[in-house]
Amino acid sequence: IQILPLSFLSAADQAFVTLATTEDYCMGALVMGKSLRRHGTTRKIVVLISSSVSPEQLNSLHKRVFDEVVQVDVMDSMDRTHLSWLGRPELGVTLTKLQCWMLIKYKKCVFLDADTLVLQNVDDLFEREELSAAPDAGWPDCFNSGVFVFRPSLHTHSRLLAHAAHYGCFDGGDQGLLNSFFKDWAVKDISKHLPFVYNLSSSAIYTYLPAFQTFGHQAKIVHFLGAVKPWHLRYDQSNKDSYLDQFLNMWWAEYRSQMPPISGEVDGNQDSGDMLHVSMKPSRHLNINTETAEESLHHRRMWEKGHVDYMGKDSFENIKKKLDIFLD
């Protein structure tokens, strides 16, 4: 008789789930999945992909990182449940994320946004119940929907759709809808509050730096919130000025790394680097506009902290140069 730990026994019906609706988010999903593998997850990894993602991308993702690829496209569905939605196209992306509740071949799942990066093994998340999530730093009585534990269920899926139809979602995204549906989260059960280090928004580095310096080393999942994503930024290993640079470099290191052998896969063409060829678009990702985005992010943070660099980046000459580019 072989005695297996509970975590191993339950691995087959438990999965991490992510969602990629564009090619950029496929890059993110890939990196997130690789980071899960790197830290030795025993669970399945599933990606939901919309029809706008190319078959090549899908295929590559499938082979290398994901146990399962599920194509979803809510707004094209013409069944009765979805028909009631067709008058509200703004809920399209939100509804796509809700499709994760339809993965009923799994008993319990953890959803991870494609703009997250796993820094440590987080299989312990499967000990939590639906709906477990970490507080959102912007309004901490809401949970952030970038990382959450859920139980796939067609019944819950229908109720979520009905709730959305009736109440809409206050922020136009899945986070508002899920918070409105799981509205007791803030007050009912502390075990459903994931520690913030399971969904550490990159902006928290700046909003309470002493806390980041004290607790940041416990970070398990970092979440690149906001409009500027790692895939918009230049990969430069020498950029280690800020904590954010370090996380960005970890993201890029994961992106460029070779894949570790996946269980059941014969170690073969591990050095082909085809991931890189499939997704990386140097001409698009490394151009001047993305450098401006990176500069802008750092610059804004300094500005927020009251460090206005009047003689340097914020000098008239430099501001003028930038404006000339914008206005040309």
Share in percent of the chain as helix, strand, coil (round to 5): 50, 15, 40
CB nearer to a copy of itself: pick between 204 and 233: 204
Beta strands in the chain (DSSP E): 14-20, 44-49, 68-71, 108-112, 116-118, 132-135, 143-150, 200-201, 221-223
By CB under 8 A, residue 326 contacts a copy of itself: yes
By CB under 8 A, residue 227 contacts a copy of itself: yes
CB-side exposure of 311: number of CA atoms within 13 Å? 0
Whether the CA torsion 146, 150, 154, 158 is positive or negative: it is negative
By CB under 8 A, residue 33 contacts a copy of itself: no
CB nearer to a copy of itself: pick between 210 and 264: 210
By CB under 8 A, residue 67 contacts a copy of itself: no
β-pair partners for 18: 47
* Minimum CB–partner distance for residue 247 and a copy of itself (Å): 16
* Minimum CB–partner distance for residue 281 and a copy of itself (Å): 24
Q: Which of 28, 33, 135, 152 binds a copy of itself (CB under 8 A)?
A: 135
For helices 174-181 and 154-167, angle between their N-to-C axes, nearest 10 degrees = 110
Q: Which of 54, 159, 170, 237 binds a copy of itself (CB under 8 A)?
A: 170
By CB under 8 A, residue 190 contacts a copy of itself: yes
8 Å CB contact between 131 and 74: no
What's the CA gap between 162 and 151, in Å, rounded? 18
* Minimum CB–partner distance for residue 195 and a copy of itself (Å): 6
Q: Which of 48, 137, 161, 278 binds a copy of itself (CB under 8 A)?
A: 137
By CB under 8 A, residue 294 contacts a copy of itself: no
Closest by Cα among 125, 132, 161, 103 to 42? 125
CB nearer to a copy of itself: pick between 46 and 147: 147
∠ CA 118-119-123, rounded to 5°: 65
Give the other-Cβ count within 10 Å of 216's Cβ: 17
By CB under 8 A, residue 328 contacts a copy of itself: no
By CB under 8 A, residue 168 contacts a copy of itself: no
CB nearer to a copy of itself: pick between 148 and 196: 196
By CB under 8 A, residue 130 contacts a copy of itself: no
8 Å CB contact between 63 and 144: no
Q: Which of 40, 59, 76, 208 binds a copy of itself (CB under 8 A)?
A: 208
CB nearer to a copy of itself: pick between 185 and 235: 185
CB nearer to a copy of itself: pick between 165 and 302: 302
Give the DSSP per-residue string, 211-249: HHHHHGGG-SEEE--SS--GGGS---TT--SSHHHHHHH
Binding part of the chain for a copy of itself, among 20-28, 34-42, 120-128, 303-311 by CB under 8 A, reads: 303-311
By CB under 8 A, residue 177 contacts a copy of itself: no
